[in-house]
Amino acid sequence: MEAKTHIALVTIPVFSHQVSLLEFAKRLNHLYKNSFQVTCIIPTISDSPSISSKHYFDDLPSNIQCIFLPPINFEDLRSESLVLESQVQIAVTRSMPLVCETLRSISSSSNVVALIVDSFVHEAHEFAKELNILSYIYFPCSAMVLSMCLYSSKLDETITCEYKDHPQPIEIPGCMSVQGTDLPDSLQNRSSLAYKLFLHRSQQLRQADGIIINSFHEMESKALKAISLISPKNLYGTTFDVYPVGPIIQTRPNIKKHACECWLDNQQPKSVLYISFGSGGTLSQDQINELALGLELSNHKFLWVNVRPPNNKATASYLSNEEMDPLHFLPLGFLQRTKGQGFVMCGWAPQVEVLKHKAIGAFLTHCGWNSILESIVHGVPMIAWPLFAEQRSNAALVTNGLKIAMRTKYNSKGIVVKEEVANIIKGIMEGLESGEIRRRMKELQKFANCAIMENGSSMKTFSLLALKWKSLSRPIED
Taking a C-beta distance cutoff of 8 angstroms, is the pair 355, 303 a contact?
Answer: no
Dist CA 312 CA 284 (whole Å):
5
Distance of CA 354 to the CA centre of its chain: 18
Q: For residue 268, count CB atoms less than 10 angstroms from its CB and return exposed for 0-12, middle for 13-18, buried for 19 or more.
A: exposed
Dist CA 239 CA 248 (whole Å):
25
Q: Which amino acid is at 311?
A: N
User: Is the torsion defined by CA of 428, 431, 432, 433 positive or negative?
Assistant: negative
**Half-sphere exposure in the Cβ direction for 152 (13 Å, CA):** 24
Q: How far apart are the first and last CA of the chain?
A: 8
Active centre residues (catalytic): 17, 118
Taking a C-beta distance cutoff of 8 angstroms, is the pair 440, 402 a contact?
Answer: yes
Taking a C-beta distance cutoff of 8 angstroms, is the pair 305, 263 a contact?
Answer: no
- φ, ψ (nearest 5 deg) of residue 264: -60, -35
